[in-house]
Structure 1
Amino acid sequence: MKAWQWLTSLALCIVIYIGLNSSNESVRQFITSVVYSTEHMTVMRNTVNELFSDGEVVEVASTNQKVLVKFVAIKRYDQGFKLSYEDPITITATQSGVMVYTGHTARTGKVISISYDDGYTVTYGFIDDFYHLPYSTVAQGEVIAMKEQGELFIQIEKNGRVLSLEETVEWIKDHG
């Protein structure tokens, strides 16, 4: 990296650190809203890519073999759906994106959320293993999670709107 890139990174880290440790609640809320907003995350990611990329484009071939389509049953659960599988599946990124959440929730167990470049945000729950940390980038076809047989939670959002059953099934056919 060039010196100006290091300085820019250092300045950004200092501003975020000071803002998060500030006693001024409005500063903390602003930074938190920027970090947790999918739209702002995409803008920040693109800006950082522009600053630090050398202009080299790497072509990545998809290894996605549409394993999500092989579900046995689907039913509404929370704001998303539960898909039932008889065999273990490997969940891969349908295109390049950013992991926006990895963790555990009371309703959906071990969960990951990924924000794709086309504006979709997909949340998978009840997964057994995930392989990326939050705010890391993933390439198309990259393995992001594993699910043993059983139920997988999926919730797909576009522009802040959760997709309906028909739209979810169509997205799975096209991407999964």
Structure 2
Amino acid sequence: MDLINLSKKDMCFIDYAHTPEALETSLIELKDAYKEHKLWCIFGCGGERDKDKRPKMGKIAESLSDFLLVTNDNPRSENELDIIKDIRKGIKNKKEVKFISSRKEAISYCLNKIKASGESNILLISGKGHEEYQDILGKRIKFSDHQQVKDFLKDV
């Protein structure tokens, strides 16, 4: 898990956790370590992979996060909205969860909300970690969660 400080009171952790167990472990560790902070989570699931884990991960992320945003990961040739629908099946309070298919927009949305909140926040961006691309429809598109956060901080 990599840390990027957003401000004196806000932190972002970028993690490769892409299984239910790994996501749960990361969320529990952050929740326990930063009890006074609101815990935000952005995650998605890869396409053409274990579909059974998708609703499980949605349930875990919803239960352990104060705010959850479901987004795109590496959809590969699978329809990204179908992947999000599978994740939604595990989420009880869909009105409380945000769904933005563009990972770039999802990260920007959360960072802007955190910046404006006035509270102490932890953001976990999970699933891609060190990866510097997105696999979409057979193309590897340059994309880095780290770089998205760094670009946001440059513009602040």
Higher normalized helix content (fraction of residues):
2
TM-score by length of 1: 0.25
Higher normalized strand content (fraction of residues):
1
